[in-house]
Amino acid sequence: MKNSILFFLLFAGSVSAFGQEFNLVGKFPAPNLKLTTIDGKTINTADFKNKVVVYNFWFVGCPPCMEEIPKLNRIVDEFQGKDVVFLGLSSSNKKDLENFLKKNPFKYEIVSDAAAIMLGSYGEASKDGNVKLAFPTHIVVNRQGYVEIKATGIKGVEAVREQLKREFK
């Protein structure tokens, strides 16, 4: 009888879990990524222990992505000298990014052709089994290596600023 009750409780718990979406922000470690910036710099995020890491996922031609770049540059200036790394991963190719950045400077370290990395590391599975990711997406990883925020859209700029204030108070 005890085994039947235990089986039922385990089964009922697993069935309810499969029908829900879980927000794991603050509860899972950020993946270690090996990246190459458009200027050839190699970055291994595993080297950022005890630093805050801010990601911005974007692409050339994304109106809200382009609109927020000046605001993100101000955040970089605001937290200059702190233990924080700013990484801009873009699905755009290197040539398009270089042309865009000549006219629109972005103070993040920029990584091109990063769609697979973004989707594989921070994409979300939809109910139909596809992986999706909204642009722009902002992620802040704390000093212990855990994701603290994941915010989409321009509202993510203020979420990044507020999280950095908490990290460096």
> What distance in Å separates the CA atoms of residue 20 and residue 134, rounded to the nearest whole number?
20
Q: Provide the pLDDT confidence category of residue 53 given band limits of 50, 70 and 90.
A: very high
> Higher model confidence: residue 127 or residue 138?
138
Does residue 156 register a pLDDT over 90?
Answer: yes
Give the dihedral of Cα atoms 15, 16, 17, 19; nearest 10 deg: 90
Q: Give me the pLDDT at residue 94, please.
A: 98
Position 132 scores a pLDDT of 84
Task: Note the pLDDT tens digit of each residue in 134-153.
Answer: 999 999 999 999 999 999 99
Mean pLDDT of 72-92: 98
Average pLDDT over residues 102-120: 96
Whole-model pTM? 0.82
**Given a cut of 70, is residue 125 above it in pLDDT?**
yes
What's the farthest any 2 CA atoms get from each other in the chain? 72
Domains and CATH numbers, the chain: 22-167 (3.40.30.10)
Sign of the CA dihedral with 81 first, then 70, 162, and 144 last: negative
- The answer to whether the CB of 142 falls within 8 A of the CB of 84 is no
| Residue 22 reports pLDDT greater than 70 | no
The mean pLDDT value for 116-145 works out to 89
Is the separation of the CB atoms in 108 and 76 below 8 Å? yes
